């Protein structure tokens, strides 16, 4: 089984990659941060010698970079699972954020998933199997103060996921939108919030693994997870 994860060098993406590597899969990693990516690669190769783990850096918001990376992936085989996790969080308000904030957030959080999916999808459609997970956010469901362009981009990613789900039904390719609330990752480090108030990245990874383990006739369309005490 070939598992493909973008934004895999840390946080949710890294946890998802690790849970599949523990199952002896072939796991292909990508991320913008080359140093962190190769550190994760070495760590996973040590921790999961029974798995095949490979990595290649790429900025998925750049179409040419996404193309190069996807060609590398397809050189390993047709993906069974694609996890579109690459993204970025920048807080702000529409009336005062930088002029390029929306463009930046759309490229990082929407276009990256759009490019990678379009490049890998034909092979999955031809084989008539596969599962795509798009890592959205509670910000995909509701607006909140200081959400700005980030929330807009995550709303768009959820819309992309739902449209893709409808299109892929005849091709037996599953699509799941993962919609987590606050997870303790680098985005929250230094915030002063007690980490115990937040979910862990491993919580998200275990839910993705569970959804991917269902039989071919079942598809979890949305996974919504929130901290036990609710959103912050």
Task: Show which residues are catalytic.
Answer: 150
**3-class secondary structure, 122:** helix
- Please count the other Cβ atoms lying within 10 Å of the Cβ belonging to residue 96: 8
Reported as type and span, the H/E element at residue 73 is helix 63-74
**CA angle at residue 161 from 37 to 215, to 5 degrees?**
85
Which class for 174: exposed (0-12), middle (13-18), buried (19 or more C-beta within 10 A)? Answer: buried
Q: How far apart are CA 130 and CA 138, in angstroms?
A: 25
């Amino acid at each position: 089984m070939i598992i493909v994860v973008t934004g895999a060098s840390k946080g949710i993406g890294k946890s998802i990659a690790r849970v599949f590597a523990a199952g002896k899969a072939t796991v292909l990693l990508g991320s913008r941060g080359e140093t962190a990516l190769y550190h994760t690669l070495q760590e996973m190769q040590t921790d999961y010698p029974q798995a095949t783990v490979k990595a290649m850096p790429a900025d998925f918001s750049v179409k040419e970079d996404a193309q190069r990376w996807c060609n590398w992936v397809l050189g390993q085989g047709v993906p069974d699972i694609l996890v579109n996790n690459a993204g970025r969080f920048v807080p702000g308000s529409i009336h005062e954020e930088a002029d390029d904030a929306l463009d930046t957030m759309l490229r990082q959080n929407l276009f990256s998933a759009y490019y990678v999916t379009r490049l890998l999808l034909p092979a999955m459609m031809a084989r008539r199997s596969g599962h795509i997970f798009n890592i959205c956010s509670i910000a995909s469901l509701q607006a909140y103060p200081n959400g700005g362009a980030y929330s807009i981009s995550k709303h768009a990613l959820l819309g992309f996921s739902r449209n893709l789900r409808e299109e892929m039904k005849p091709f037996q390719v599953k699509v799941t939108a993962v919609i987590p609330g606050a997870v303790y990752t680098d985005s929250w480090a230094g915030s002063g919030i007690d980490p115990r108030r937040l979910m862990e990245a491993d919580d998200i990874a275990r839910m993705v693994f569970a959804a991917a383990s269902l039989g071919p006739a079942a598809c979890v369309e949305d996974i919504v997870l929130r901290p036990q005490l609710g959103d912050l």
